[in-house]
Amino acid sequence: MFDAVVSPDVAEDEAALATPFVKCLVRLIRAQDSFGSWEGKSDAELLGDFIITKEQRRAIPIIGDPDPDVLWRLDMFYTAVGLAIEERSGLMASPMTEMSHEGFGRVVLTSGRLVVLSKTLRDVHRFGFETFWKLAAAGTKLAGDAIAAIEAYPEVARA
């Protein structure tokens, strides 16, 4: 029947959930589950709110303060990028976020004296990814770019 066939989408989701970046993100979120209320949830369920379809995206108004839950997810995402950087380079990369009430802002990750990642944030209200695969790809790319910066200036990252 319909359910018995593993669709390419499902296989893609599984591959996405197995990437080192998404594993960092899941670990980070589970670490905040002090009361064990998410123990029964699968990784896909835990990350469900990171996924926003194009239609959902369009429906989110970008006026007023961004939702605190969105800000929390944004913070988790960039902290997970930092964690992925640490896993691969051994250097701690700490994130700093500055945000206006209108959902514009900037996130910076630093290691030692090196800015390993600097990104302008826009439409934070609508922060999310279309698929798990896009979530995994975005985080993996950011971590990869940061690693490249560390490799270009190793002594600054250790300063």
Q: Is 115 in the site for a second copy (CB under 8 A)?
A: yes
Q: Are 95 and 115 in contact (CB under 8 A)?
A: no
* Distance of closest approach, residue 81 Cβ to a second copy, in angstroms: 16
Nearest distance, CB of residue 157 and a second copy, angstroms? 10
Angle in degrees, 0-180, between the axes of helices 132-152 and 68-89, rounded to the nearest 10: 50
Select from 98, 123, 130, 151 the one that contacts a second copy (CB under 8 A). Answer: 98
The region of 3-11, 16-24, 30-38, 91-99 touching a second copy under the rule CB under 8 A is: 91-99
Among residues 16 and 117, whose Cβ is nearest to a second copy? Answer: 117
| Exposure on the CB side of residue 89, measured as CA atoms within 13 A | 27
Element (H, E) at 105: strand 105-111
Considering only 18-26, 61-69, 128-136, 148-156, which stretch makes contact with a second copy by CB under 8 A?
148-156
Which tokens in the block code for residue 17? 């959930």
Applying CB under 8 A, among 88, 131, 153, 154 the residue interacting with a second copy is 153
Alpha carbons 88 and 82: distance in angstroms, whole number = 10
